[in-house]
């Protein structure tokens, strides 16, 4: 039920979230400032050559390509995301196939099945993926943290490198300290390491005579685990997963309210007017349905029904996590702007996601607020679903003047 992974809460992380939330509130209170953010959702999204997005871009789609210039942050989620253009600030994105061949003036955080970097990144790079490649033209200005099944580095890393992967091959140049945990470490003939190398593997790496390693080399078998190093990796990856889940929630919310604006608003209005009943429904269903699925699974006839019902139940849960944040943002916006109705739009998403994150940092209170909103939305979605199954038409809400 908790929408965010547990991570080490640092003052800088809290400051970032507070700044984001304050900026979002300013957007909903002063509509003119909405120009600073561009929200786009669809099957195919393009920022073409010569196009400039003046501010942050929040994008969700199956195929996203950025050939123009983003004068701000890019937060994106999609099946395939390609960035041959320019981003003047940070990038946070998640998808199946991710590629950066342009220039990024800030930090980059990514998670994907296949990740390729061939451009220039001024700041830090944090990647979690299946196959991760830093091509020969890639230049990373800051620290690099990589976690992958297969990792290959042909480019230049000006800062330090921390990596964990099944197979690691280094062909490029790394100027900072290198720490690698892997089952197999390989070096190419042109590999250049200008600082110390520390690696943890079942066997020593075969280093060609033409490879240049200036600093000392420390090798340790994987049976002797470096606990402090592993803790540091997990801590950094935890922060990266937070940013990525934050981006996924933001993209999912924007996609939902963009594609289904009336349905989203109707749902939130229904939950607001029947909050207690929907909370109780969500609480009961959340506890009762899993045992029901299990009982169906133990019968041969019930297996297909259990699998299908379980997938629907899980889907409702994911949607409920996202729309709990949309509901929080809509309620806050209604209170700030003194409106009579709860409206689901991109402004509610922009406020709700960071709001619930900040609340989640408060022990117990954050958990209670997140859980309460989640269960109310969960019950509301189930209620609307059963109404649709029984072909009941819920009463149409009053028209809203936005």
Whether 125 shows a pLDDT value over 80: the answer reads yes
Give the per-residue pLDDT at 336: 82
Quickly state the pLDDT bin for 188 (edges 50, 70, 90).
very high
Give the per-residue pLDDT at 339: 79
Q: What is the tens place of the pLDDT at every residue in 232-281?
A: 555 555 555 566 666 777 777 888 888 888 888 899 999 999 998 889 88
Give the per-residue pLDDT at 389: 64
Give the per-residue pLDDT at 173: 95
Give the per-residue pLDDT at 99: 95
User: Span 348-364, mean pLDDT?
Assistant: 79
Q: What is the tens place of the pLDDT at every residue in 284-333?
A: 888 777 776 666 666 655 566 667 777 877 888 888 888 998 998 888 88
Whether 143 shows a pLDDT value over 90: the answer reads yes
Give the per-residue pLDDT at 239: 55
Quickly state the pLDDT bin for 6 (edges 50, 70, 90).
very low
Query: Token pair of 191, please?
Result: 């590999």
Give the per-residue pLDDT at 251: 76
Give the per-residue pLDDT at 220: 85
Quickly state the pLDDT bin for 370 (edges 50, 70, 90).
confident
Quickly state the pLDDT bin for 78 (edges 50, 70, 90).
confident
Give the per-residue pLDDT at 386: 78
d(CA 19, CA 307): 43
User: Span 44-68, mean pLDDT?
Assistant: 89
Give the per-residue pLDDT at 233: 55
Give the per-residue pLDDT at 234: 54
HSE (CB half, 13 Å, CA atoms) of 376?
A: 23
- Give the β-pairing of 74-83 and 56-66: parallel
Give the per-residue pLDDT at 81: 92
User: Span 198-221, mean pLDDT?
Assistant: 89
Radius of gyration of the chain (CA): 24
Give the per-residue pLDDT at 286: 82
Give the per-residue pLDDT at 10: 47
- Give every CB contact of residue 14 below 8 A, 6+ residues apart in sequence: 358, 361
Quickly state the pLDDT bin for 350 (edges 50, 70, 90).
confident
């Amino acid at each position: 039920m908790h929408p965010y992974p547990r991570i080490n809460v640092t003052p800088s992380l809290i400051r970032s979230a507070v700044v984001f939330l304050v900026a979002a509130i300013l957007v909903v209170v002063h509509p003119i400032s909405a120009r600073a953010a561009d929200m786009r959702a669809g099957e195919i999204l393009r920022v073409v050559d010569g196009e400039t997005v003046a501010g942050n871009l929040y994008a969700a789609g199956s195929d996203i390509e950025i050939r123009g210039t983003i004068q701000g942050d890019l937060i994106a989620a999609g099946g395939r995301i390609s960035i041959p253009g320019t981003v003047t600030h940070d990038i946070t994105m998640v998808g199946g196939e991710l590629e950066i061949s342009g220039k990024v003036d800030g930090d980059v955080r990514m998670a994907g099945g296949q990740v390729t970097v061939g451009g220039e990144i001024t700041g830090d790079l944090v990647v979690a993926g299946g196959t991760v490649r830093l091509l020969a033209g890639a230049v990373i200005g800051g620290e690099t943290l990589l976690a992958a099944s297969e990792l290959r580095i042909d480019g230049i890393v000006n800062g330090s490198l921390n990596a964990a992967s099944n197979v690691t091959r280094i062909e490029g140049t790394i100027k900072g300290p290198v720490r690698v945990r892997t089952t197999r470490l390989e070096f190419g003939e042109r590999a250049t390491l200008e600082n110390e190398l520390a690696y943890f593997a079942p066997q020593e790496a075969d280093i060609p005579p033409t490879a240049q390693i200036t600093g000392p080399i420390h090798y340790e078998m994987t049976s002797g685990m470096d606990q402090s190093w592993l803790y540091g990796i997990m801590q950094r990856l935890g922060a990266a997963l937070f940013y990525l889940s934050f981006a996924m929630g933001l993209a999912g919310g924007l996609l939902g309210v963009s594609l289904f604006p009336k349905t989203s608003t109707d749902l939130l209005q229904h939950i607001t007017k029947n909050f207690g009943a929907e909370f109780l429904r969500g609480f009961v269903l959340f506890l009762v349905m899993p045992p029901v699925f299990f009982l169906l699974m133990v019968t041969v006839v019930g297996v297909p029904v259990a699998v299908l019902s379980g997938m629907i139940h899980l889907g409702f849960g994911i949607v409920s996590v996202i729309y709990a944040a949309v509901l929080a943002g809509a309620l806050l916006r209604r209170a700030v702007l003194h409106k009579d109705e709860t409206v689901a739009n991109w402004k509610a998403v922009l406020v709700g996601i960071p709001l619930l994150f900040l609340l989640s940092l408060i022990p117990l209170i954050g958990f209670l607020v997140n859980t309460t909103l989640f269960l109310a939305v969960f019950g509301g979605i189930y209620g609307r679903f059963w109404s649709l199954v029984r072909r009941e038409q819920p009463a149409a809400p009053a028209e809203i003047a936005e």
